Amino acid sequence: MTKKAERTTAYIIETVAPIFNKYGYVGTSMSDLTEATGLTKGAIYGNFENKEALALSAFEYNRNHLLNVIDEKLGVQGSALDKVFSLLRFYRQYDVFTLPFGGCPILNVGVDAQNNNGLLAAAVKETIKEIEGKIALVLENGVNRGELHLPVPPLQFSKQLFTMLMGAISMSTMTRDRKYLVNTIAYLEQLVQKELR
């Protein structure tokens, strides 16, 4: 692939990622994509096999951006608790963070693809497992270093924590009331402080 072709492919993905994320696989038309990119249908499909391949690339683009930030938040200096609190502070502003990409890619694509696109649904499920695993690793390291004590195995705690975060994101998104997110984060901070020390 030439440098120009690589730049075109990257441009297409960056441009259409928020559109697919906001309107979904079925809700995004070819004319939405050509209008946003300024490219013809042929130029877009010259870079992608089909709409599904483009939608998957768009999700992966948003997913990778999210995972990079999660890695950054969990990679801060300090104890395991410092890392968990860093992640929770990030999620307190998650709605603001995801605004440029049309909302939470896990929630949006996960719900949209559930019954109409097996590849996208599987990619979302894999992303959820990856995030839960990243959190669990921080918790496990904290337990091994004697920094915190868990009432349940690290992966189980991680799954429950992420479930509560995603629930808050869902409620906040559906009601357009960020108090669901902010209040849940405040509760989680107290829970982590109390349960993990």
Residue 100 tokens, joined = 């440029």
Q: What is the domain partition of the chain in residue ranges? A: 58-196
Rounded to two decimals, the pTM is 0.94
pLDDT in tens, 29-64: 999 999 999 999 999 989 999 999 999 999 999 999
Q: What is the CATH number of domain 58-196?
A: 1.10.357.10
Residue 135 has pLDDT above 80, yes or no: yes
Position 168 pLDDT exceeds 80: yes
Give Cβ neighbours of residue 171 (< 8 Å, ≥ 6 apart).
177, 180, 181
With CA atoms as reference, report the closest residue to 12 among 25, 112, 30: 30
Mean pLDDT, rounded, for 91-95: 96
Residues of the chain with pLDDT > 70: what percent?
Answer: 99
CA distance 88 to 13: 29
Question: What would the two tokens of residue 118 be?
Answer: 């097996």
Tally Cβ neighbours within 10 Å of residue 68: 10
